[in-house]
Chain A
Amino acid sequence: MNATRAEVAAAACSDLFRGAGAVLASTVGVVPTLGARLARLTHAHALLLSDGEATLYADTPAVDEPFREPEAPLPYAQLFELIARGRRHVVMGAAQLDRHGDQNLSAIGDRDRPTRQLLGARAAATNTANHATSYWVARHSPRVFVERVDVVTGVGPARARAEGADRFHDVRRIVTDLAVLDLTGPGGTVALHSVHPGVTVAQVVAATGFPLHVPAEVPETRQPTAEELRLLRERLDPRGLRDREVIAS
């Protein structure tokens, strides 16, 4: 039962929700979505899941299958109330993430004439000011992990402290195809939390475009259990979408 890199990352995403209780898990991407569903089926039974639109669901289907059992409505207007209340853990993507845990979803380059316009601010600032936020990066590279993001949409711990956005601020972890990172470096900077099986610390350092804080002891990210692998392979992702998102070298 050798776990693939995507399966290791999915279990790491599941671990984001340890002890979460009855909060909404909002995920962007196949691997974090698998992680949230895995969490609900194994250790975080009270977790709430939605279709990302207007409905909370009681069932936990495969990632490419529709939900069938609505348990409550959640239109966007209510979602913003829920966020302000803090009952959510979001796993967002990022076009850029920097050493201080600041994230960019908006645009690359100059504000008035960006070289690449992306989504815009979305609700990244709302999320980071209000509740637990983690990030998922499917391809760990210096293009994503930059010294300084071009536009700060999601706020990291140092800026949150400096700007008074730290009361409910909780940027938990960054899960990638190579490693798990967190914000425990000096002054709340990005630190290496664990490396996935088969990945070296040097590999992660080389794939990171800023000086990554490496603690004296870097553990290996845990292997998924046999039960988790069974759930991933047979129930949650039988068609292997995870392996299209993570192209393990």
Chain B
Amino acid sequence: MTDKQVSIEEAVATLESGMTIGIGGWGSRRKPMALVREILRRDLTDLTVVAFGGPDVGLLAAAGRIRRLVYGFVSLDSIPLDPLFTQARELGAIAVEEYDEGMFVAGLRAAGARLDFLPTRAGLGSDVLPANPRLRTVRSPYSDAEYVAMPALPLDVALVHVNRADPQGNAQYLGPDPYFDDLFAMAATRTIVSAEKVVPTSALLDEGSFHTLLFSRMYASAVVEAPQGAHFTTCAPDYERDEAFQKHYATSAKDPEAWAAFERTFLHTDEAGYHAAVARFHAERGDS
């Protein structure tokens, strides 16, 4: 059995500027933030990012790494908008393909099934169609119905973060929702799986039922152990969203000086440095 476990640096070193990268999770939930932070430490740029966006999109947009964003929304959940993303949009800094979420899911499913498109009702009549001139509709061969022909959203690489994985890349989620990580993995040529813990295959059922095994090793090309790797987004049941820190992120993002300080403290450092700085942040607040 191929052991695919690598360091976070080795995994991200395989990415190239200009790639189309799908980022799993949803809003501010189980985002592969450690992998995103590693991208920020490198000179990867000109990326097409495909995501149900959260702070992953905010951070990459603010750092000027995104050429084109393919998304349905960008939100921090408990805070409705991500200030870094809204700034990037209001400055005209990134090109966007904005899809309705239903269309977005259809695009991932189409890519996973190696189809050019999938028909969907989602998007009919909305401005999503005129905003994306390449979109076409398709007539049913069985009735007069006309559907949106949602084009496939194939990915060069998918980045996902899960609760557990084995060294071969069998991926497990233990929280309430798999989100669309399995679709991202299936839509991608390569998938980098980061996990809170890498455990032997025999230990995968220690903490969750058979149904929590989200996708098999056939979809994984690299496995990274990244404890707290979704911080500051939620990674239930391992940990909830770090609301205080997310608030600090969002508040800092609104002020250039505060943002520069945030970057110095939390981003201009390696992963261990990041978590040490987060611990200091909580200690200074008097959080237990």
Contacts and interface: CB of A to CB of B under 8 A. Distances in A.
Interface stretch (A16-24, A29-37, A73-81, A206-214): A73-81
B173 to A, nearest CB: 10
Contacts of A159: 125-126
A108 to B, nearest CB: 10
A113 B86 CA distance: 10
Interface in A151-170: 151-155, 159-160, 162-165, 167-168
A125 B177 contact: no
Contacts, number: 133
Contact of B125 (A54, A116, A162): A162
Contacts of B92: 112-113
B163 interface: no
Interface in A50-81: 53-55, 73, 75-77, 80
B176 A121 contact: no
A152 B101 contact: no
Contact of B100 (A76, A117, A125, A168): A125
B239 interface: no
Interface string A4-29: 00000000000000000000000000
A117 B127 contact: no
A199 interface: no
B102 A120 contact: no
A153 B176 contact: no
A144 interface: no
B85 to A, nearest CB: 7
B100 A152 contact: no
Contacts of B98: 106, 120-121
Interface in B72-103: 72-75, 80-81, 85-86, 89-92, 95, 98-103
B125 A163 contact: yes
Interface in A101-128: 106-107, 111-126, 128
B131 interface: yes
Contacts of B102: 80, 83-84, 123, 125-126
B9 to A, nearest CB: 32
B73 A75 contact: no
A151 B100 CA distance: 12
- Chain A CB within 10 Å, residue with most, of B120, B127, B145, B177: B127
Contacts of B145: 164, 167
Given A111-B131, A123-B72, A155 B86 contact: no
A246 interface: no
A133 interface: no
B90 A114 contact: yes
Contacts of A189: none
Contact of B121 (A111, A113, A129): A129
B90 A126 contact: no
Interface residues of A, number: 44
Interface string A159-187: 11011110110000000000000000000
B273 to A, nearest CB: 31
A122 B125 contact: no
A112 B146 CA distance: 28
A126 B122 contact: yes
Contacts of A163: 124-125
Nearest to B101: A123
A121 B105 contact: no
A54 to B, nearest CB: 4
A80 B177 CA distance: 13
Contacts of B80: 119
A106 B100 CA distance: 10
A84 B121 contact: yes
Contacts of B146: 164
A150 B203 CA distance: 53
A155 B125 contact: yes
B250 interface: no
A-B complex: 8 closest residue pairs judged by Cβ atoms: A126-B102, A165-B124, A113-B92, A163-B125, A120-B73, A125-B126, A155-B125, A54-B176
Interface of B: 26, 53, 71-75, 80-81, 85-86, 89-92, 95, 98-103, 105, 120-128, 131, 137, 145-146, 176-180, 183
